[in-house]
Amino acid sequence: MLCIVPRLTFPSECGSAMMQARRINFAMGSDVRWSAEGLLDVIAHHWGYRTLRPLQEPAMRAVLEGRDSLVVLPTGGGKSLCYQAPAVYFRATTVVVSPLIALMKDQVDSLQRCGVPAVQIDSSQSESERWSSEHDLRQGNARLVFVSPERLVNTDFYRLLQQIQVRTFAIDEAHCISHWGHDFRPEYRQLSRLRERFPQASVHAYTATATEQVRRDIITQLNLRHPEVLVGTFDRPNLTYRVLPRLDLFKQVEEVLARHDGESGIIYCPRRRDVDDLTTALLGRKHRVVAYHAGMSSEERHAAQEAFRTEQVDLVVATVAFGMGIDRSNVRFVLHTAMPKSLEHYQQETGRAGRDGLEAECVLLFSGADFFTQRSMIEKSVQEAGAVDPGFLPSALKHLDDMTRYCRGAICRHRALVSYFGQAYATPNCNACDICLGDTEEVPDATVLAQKILSCVARVKESFGINHVVGVLRGENTDTIRRRGHEQLTTFGLLKGQTKADLRDWIYQLIGQGLLLQVGEEYPLLKLNEASWQVMRGQRKVRLIQLVRRKQGEKPLLSRTVEASWEGVDQELFEKLRQLRRSLANAARVPPYVVFNDAVLRQLARLRPRNLTHMRQVPGIGDAKLRDYGKTFLEAILEHDARS
């Protein structure tokens, strides 16, 4: 069953049938009553939320009724609560399969701060720590236990779970089980054994990114029985997407950082050496930044992750090896310095921004060269891997083509992403992407420009690459051009007023539109085709785009989400609360967002509550956090108001 439902509020917006207690067969086979109202009371008590997001109620209902499910919700859409709340409500142990130790630790820390008994069992623990966690399980004192797929299927740990008669399994990052997913992990395939070892248990798969093909594969691999399939919208309205020509990389990176001064962000680079070079440059400009890539030692990678998680640094420059284990909710921007290999990767990586529901910016700096770089990297990885699924390479190249079309497209970015994942986007203008905010514009006289470029390719007899053609068009006085007599060509200096970066970008746009070919691997040459001659004969129009030429110091337009999220917020108070949060988190040795996320702090700085009762009404503040932190934050707010 595929279900997409609107936002749901309890109890006032619920129909009477939903509010009735249900008699179901759950856990040990005993009849248990549950009610939507009672469930929401549990959520309000521990997590401080009084309304549910879209699809959370039917997802929780599937868990409570012991039916398998597949839940696809965007990052920040509340997937975790779908299996956490039912476990607390029924006081039954739920096993959560998570791919990374760091991710487990963050979730356990967050749950414990909310007053929820949770444990993790992993290879980083001492023998006494593991014994303590297992003792809690045997005594029924843990509502959730987090484990890796390897521990669950390759050790005898499952026997303990059989002894305590676990009846619910939650598979986080479930797309890892699919060959067609963007983060395939072979160990996830072994989770098919769960059905053999726990035939009476329900299995629930959760992911943020899954095409229809990946969803089918997840269901098959996990042997889900008539699952409830719940697919939320893939749109993230709080994100502003920008896909911009990569012209001057470091300058463009600095422009993004200037828009997010003092805020946290992730910068993705395609190769390790790019990570190292950019990190060195940013450190030279006094930015608080760390590098992360697979070429570093495990100790170095762990230190970088910890520095970013605990807000010792604001920025991390990384390859795609970084991200899944990071649950930091206040990432305000994600910057790709080159095109990712697929839209699934892009959706997952940009999804690490704005997890708290507040505004965030996703910038992709794109060059037509990215396609050839990514294709070469994919083909090389296939060669090195040896025997691979014969369908992998064609599938990977298809994903790359889709990603390239997205980058070159001239339609709303939100619409393009949602459409790719098979959903409709009705809003005519998102006001949250480069297209709708007017970051780019059409190049004047684009057809004439294209004719000059193509004519130059013809004049050099289709025997040279992009750099040489650009040099001829700009009238550059180089040995290479003079040695070949190309300063005598009629196209020499024909576009001397244009920058190298603009010309290269326009050439790549022509290649992307099929109006020019780039042939060869190590030293690719520009070649003409029939479409090229149609342009030169005036039989075909050309459209090229460029960045809007803004005045110095003029910033791009902000999305409406940015303006709305700060409305009424005392920004000076917000910064004071951030500092207080950091000191409390450092003392407790947990990431700051485990104390309160930015959305809670902004609401506190907006409402400025006068007492704990008033503070308790802020979404995200449950009873445990009110008890542990309420008085401290209230005193800070009252002190700020007294001095204002």
Spatial contact of 38 and 81, defined as CB atoms under 8 Å apart: no
Residue-level pLDDT at 286: 92
Residue-level pLDDT at 440: 82
Residue of higher predicted confidence among 232 and 13: 232
Strands 168-171 vs 202-207: parallel, antiparallel or unpaired: parallel
Q: Is the pLDDT of residue 317 over 80?
A: yes
Average pLDDT score over residue span 206-218: 86
Specify the fold of 566-643: DNA polymerase; domain 1 (1.10.150)
Q: Is the pLDDT of residue 462 over 90?
A: yes
Q: Is the pLDDT of residue 437 over 60?
A: yes
Check residue 332 and report its DSSP letter.
E
pLDDT band, residue 6 (cuts 50/70/90): very low
Residue 332 CA to residue 322 CA, distance in Å, equals 16
Average pLDDT score over residue span 10-38: 44
pLDDT band, residue 45 (cuts 50/70/90): very high
Spatial contact of 640 and 572, defined as CB atoms under 8 Å apart: yes
- The pLDDT > 90 percentage for the chain reads 57
The pLDDT tens digits for 76-101 are 778 999 999 999 998 889 999 988 88
Letter string b/e over residues 463-502, b meaning 16 or more CB atoms within 10 A of that residue's CB: ebbbebbbbbbbebeeeebeebebeebebbebbeebeeeb
Residue 374 CA to residue 403 CA, distance in Å, equals 11
Check residue 433 and report its DSSP letter.
B
Q: Is the pLDDT of residue 512 over 80?
A: no
Residue-level pLDDT at 553: 66
Specify the fold of 239-438: Rossmann fold (3.40.50)
Residue-level pLDDT at 449: 97
Residue-level pLDDT at 16: 31
Q: Is the pLDDT of residue 436 over 50?
A: yes
Within 10 angstroms of residue 51's Cβ, the number of other Cβ atoms is 15
Q: Do domains 442-547 and 566-643 have the same CATH topology?
A: no
Domains in the chain: boundaries:
2-231, 239-438, 442-547, 566-643
Specify the fold of 442-547: Arc Repressor Mutant, subunit A (1.10.10)
Q: Is the pLDDT of residue 22 over 50?
A: no
Residue-level pLDDT at 563: 72
Residue-level pLDDT at 197: 93
Residue of higher predicted confidence among 475 and 245: 475
Residue-level pLDDT at 25: 36
The pLDDT tens digits for 11-21 are 333 333 333 33
Average pLDDT score over residue span 401-423: 87
Residue 417 CA to residue 432 CA, distance in Å, equals 13
Q: Is the pLDDT of residue 640 over 90?
A: yes
Average pLDDT score over residue span 311-324: 85
Q: Is the pLDDT of residue 4 over 50?
A: no
Q: Alpha carbon of 502 to those of 20, 268, 367, 509: distances in Å?
A: 65, 23, 11, 10
Q: Is the pLDDT of residue 498 over 60?
A: yes
The pLDDT tens digits for 269-284 are 999 999 999 999 999 9
Residue-level pLDDT at 118: 95
Lowest mean pLDDT among 141-155, 173-187, 428-442: 173-187
Residue-level pLDDT at 323: 63
Within 10 angstroms of residue 249's Cβ, the number of other Cβ atoms is 18
Q: What is the mean pLDDT of the chain?
A: 87
pLDDT band, residue 179 (cuts 50/70/90): low
Specify the fold of 2-231: Rossmann fold (3.40.50)
Average pLDDT score over residue span 351-356: 90
Average pLDDT score over residue span 301-315: 90
Identify any residues that bridge with 206 across adjacent strands, giving them in sequence order.
71
- The pLDDT > 70 percentage for the chain reads 91
Residue-level pLDDT at 558: 67
Q: Alpha carbon of 617 to those of 53, 85, 611, 612, 626: distances in Å?
A: 17, 19, 11, 9, 10
